[in-house]
């Protein structure tokens, strides 16, 4: 079997966080503590876990994590009021509204209420557009993590055919645009794609962002493909059938310890970036 490269997200995340530690210390020296506000609406256990993990990662680095936990019956207007207060709060540098929110809430309207200066997960239309043009301050964290993993392991992107499975506004679409901006030829697949296996067979780089456990099959892969699994499903399983894809891939992210930890490191990085910007003003 040819040698496999396991793309070690924990290692990449730790290196990123070490670099951030110095920057957090420097900010502390001028009296600024980066602060990420996380808003959780309702009591979805998976969302609670994500928010807790993000909060713990902040604390370990000396970033303030301000947790706002709102009742699941809150209205869109009430949620937007909370976001507006955080926009105005000079001590808050980044705002993260945990997705998904309960059905009665207009999630898009709530995302759009986040100030572009605090949109550290690239969820606003303006943040998305800036990413599409290639100059976003804060591209969505999971797409940014995928690009960081490719770059860390010096995996060529230019001229390669990337097939992204998934087109959500926070993952599939922005990562497709980021790959395109780096001169990959990009195919974005979704639930209405009729010949998915044939599409994946053409890929040098496969990005799985589907939300279905073990969905991407090993037999769909071209030998030597690079596989990035953004999926995170119950039971610590990704969107890729890891064991089967490992046999065909030249490089692959595991789940856990692949894309996930780098996503959190990106969120911390964007929060520190935002805090540094306020220091300059
Ligand atoms: P999402 O909003 O549910 O989007 C899923 C996408 O997959 C949609 O575009 C959907 O197509 C497509 N899809 C669904 N079934 C398909 C099928 N049979 N064939 C082809 N495409 C199909 O999910 P998301 O928020 O992007 O998240 C995707 C995955 O990433 C989840 O496992 C999530 O837990 C994970 N995630 C991980 C991180 C991390 O830090 N690692 C962060 C965010 C999300 P349509 O558009 O046609 O419906």
Q: Which residue has a Cα nearest atom 15 of ligand 1? A: 191
The pLDDT tens digits for 23-59 are 999 999 999 999 999 999 999 998 999 999 999 999 9
What's the chain's average pLDDT?
97
Residue having the nearest C-alpha atom to atom 31 of ligand 1:
211
pLDDT tens sequence across 230-251? 999 999 999 999 999 999 999 9
Ligand 1 pocket test, pick from 210, 240, 255 with the greatest ligand atom count within 8 Å of Cβ, gives 210
Spacing, Cα 175 to ligand 1 middle (Å)? 12
Whole-number Å distance, alpha carbon 28 to ligand 1 midpoint, is 38
Q: What is the pLDDT of residue 33?
A: 98
The residue whose CB lies within 8 Å of the most ligand 1 atoms, and thus the one to mutate among 111, 188, 230, is: 230
| The overall pTM is greater than 0.85 | yes
In the three-class reduction of DSSP (H, G, I as helix; E, B as strand; rest coil), residue 5 is classed as: strand
Taking a C-beta distance cutoff of 8 angstroms, is the pair 131, 270 a contact?
A: no
Tell me, yes or no, if 19 is annotated catalytic: no
Q: Give all domains of the chain, ordered by start, each with its CATH number.
A: 33-119 (3.40.50.10860), 140-260 (3.40.50.720)
Active site residue 54: yes
What tokens appear for 144 in the block? 């940014």
Evaluate if residue 259 carries a pLDDT over 90.
Answer: yes
Peptide bond into 84 cis (omega under 30): no
What is the CA(157)–ligand 1 centre distance, in A?
A: 22
Residue identifier of the C-alpha nearest atom 3 of ligand 1: 211
Residue that the structure tokens 């939300």 belong to: 211
Please give all residues whose beta carbon lies within 6 A of any atom in ligand 1, as ranges.
142, 165-168, 170-172, 189-193, 196, 209-212, 230-233, 239, 259-260, 263
Cα 242 to Cα 240: distance, rounded to the nearest angstrom: 5
Asked if residue 2 has pLDDT above 70, the reply is: no
Which residues, at least 6 apart from 260, have a Cβ–Cβ distance to it below 8 Å? Answer: 9, 232
């Amino acid at each position: 079997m040819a040698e496999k490269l396991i793309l070690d997200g924990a290692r990449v995340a730790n290196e990123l966080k070490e670099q951030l530690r110095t920057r957090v210390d420097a900010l502390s020296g001028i009296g600024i503590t980066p602060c990420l506000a996380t808003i959780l609406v309702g009591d979805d256990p998976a969302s609670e876990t994500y928010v807790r993990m993000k909060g713990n990662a902040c604390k370990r680095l000396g970033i303030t994590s301000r947790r706002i936990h709102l009742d699941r019956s809150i209205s869109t207007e009430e949620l937007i009021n909370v976001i507006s207060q955080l926009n105005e709060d000079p001590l808050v540098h980044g705002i993260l509204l945990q997705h998904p929110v309960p059905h009665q809430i207009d999630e898009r309207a709530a995302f759009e209420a986040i100030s572009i200066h605090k949109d550290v997960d690239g969820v606003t239309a303006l943040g998305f557009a800036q990413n599409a043009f290639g100059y976003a301050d804060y591209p969505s964290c999971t797409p940014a993590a995928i690009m960081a993993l490719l770059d860390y392991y010096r995996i060529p992107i230019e001229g390669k055919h990337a097939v992204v499975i998934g087109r959500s506004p926070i993952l599939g679409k922005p990562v497709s645009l980021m790959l395109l901006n780096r001169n990959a030829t990009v195919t974005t697949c979704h639930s209405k794609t009729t010949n998915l296996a044939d599409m994946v067979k053409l890929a040098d780089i496969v990005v799985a962002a589907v939300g279905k456990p073990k969905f991407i099959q090993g037999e769909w892969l071209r030998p030597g493909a690079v596989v990035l699994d953004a999926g995170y499903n119950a039971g610590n399983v990704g969107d890729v059938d890891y064991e089967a894809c490992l046999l065909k891939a030249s490089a692959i992210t595991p789940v856990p310890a692949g894309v996930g930890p780098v996503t959190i490191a990106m969120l911390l990085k964007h929060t520190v970036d935002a805090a540094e910007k306020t220091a300059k003003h």
